[in-house]
Amino acid sequence: MFNTVKQTVQPEDQKVSAEDLIPLSHLELDLPAPTTGWLIELDRRGISVITDDIGRQAISRDDARRLITEKHENERRQHESGRTNRTGGD
């Protein structure tokens, strides 16, 4: 009935410092949430969701950087494609 996605929690011996995590709520300030939801999309991409030190769902800064870079590259390609596809007529 409900879509369930396993949330990956970092093992105790591999703790990640809070400074190395970006909460999903903060990521949404720069990236719109996927239509399927963050947990499903991140699981599909093999990105671990970690609970930060105050209980928020978060991902690593490296993964967040990769997602934001992909967004910027997609926007650049769309912009360039729009310039290329324009006709030269007045």
58: domain range? 12-84
Evaluate if residue 3 carries a pLDDT over 50. Answer: no
Assess if residue 49 is contained within a domain: yes
With respect to residue 2, please indicate whether it lies within any of the assigned structural domains: no
Is the pTM for the entire model greater than 0.75? no
How many domains is the chain built from? 1
**pLDDT tens column, 10-59:** 444 456 788 899 999 999 999 999 999 999 999 999 999 999 999 999 99
Q: How far, in Å, are 24, 42, 50, 64, 71 from residue 5 at the CA level?
A: 15, 10, 13, 19, 24
Q: Contact at 8 Å (CB) between 23 and 56?
A: yes
Q: 43 in a domain, yes or no?
A: yes
Residue 74 forms part of a structural domain: yes
32 inside domain: yes
Q: Does the pLDDT at position 81 exceed 80? A: yes
